């Protein structure tokens, strides 16, 4: 079972920041937080991941709370093309290529 809890759906106005929350209260010290998104009927797209520090790349920012029990994915200027299902995944970081365990994710609708 997925170790994360996300809202089922969210709306965001085009051009505004989209803030997607994720709860992972049982996360262990050796587990990363990964974010993927899936645009309708396509393969999931990797967005960003982090362990305990905040991370930023060209797509998004990841803010992880100090106790690591929750995180927020921020899309700074949402566009219509950001409409997708966003998955927050907790994944063990030790040796071996551990599988991704997906929940149902958050369906983000960006509205013009």
Partner 1 sequence: DAGVTQSPTHLIKTRGQQVTLRCSPKSGHDTVSWYQQALGQGPQFIFQYYEEEERQRGNFPDRFSGHQFPNYSSELNVNALLLGDSALYLCASSRQPPTGRSETQYFGPGTRLLVL
The contact set with partner 1 (CB under 8 A) reads 2, 32, 34, 36, 41-46, 49, 87, 91-105
Euclidean distance between CA atoms 88 and 99, whole angstroms = 14
Q: Among candidates 19, 22, 17, 44, which has minimal Cα distance to 33?
A: 22
Closer of 80 and 100 to partner 1 (Cβ):
100
Query: Measured from the CB of residue 73, what is the shortest distance to partner 1 in angstroms?
Result: 15
Euclidean distance between CA atoms 49 and 61, whole angstroms = 9
Closer of 14 and 109 to partner 1 (Cβ):
109
Euclidean distance between CA atoms 107 and 12, whole angstroms = 11
Closer of 49 and 52 to partner 1 (Cβ):
49
Query: Measured from the CB of residue 66, what is the shortest distance to partner 1 in angstroms?
Result: 21
């Amino acid at each position: 079972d997925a170790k994360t809890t996300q809202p089922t759906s969210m709306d965001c106005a085009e051009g505004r920041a989209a803030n997607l929350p994720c709860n992972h209260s049982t996360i262990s010290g050796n587990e990363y937080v990964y974010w993927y998104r899936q645009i309708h009927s396509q393969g999931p797209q990797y967005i960003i991941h982090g362990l305990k520090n905040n991370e930023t790349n060209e797509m998004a920012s990841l803010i992880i709370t100090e106790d690591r029990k929750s995180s927020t994915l921020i899309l700074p200027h949402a566009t219509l093309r950001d409409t997708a299902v966003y998955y927050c995944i907790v994944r063990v970081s030790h040796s071996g290529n551990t599988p991704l365990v997906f929940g149902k994710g958050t369906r983000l609708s960006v509205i013009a």
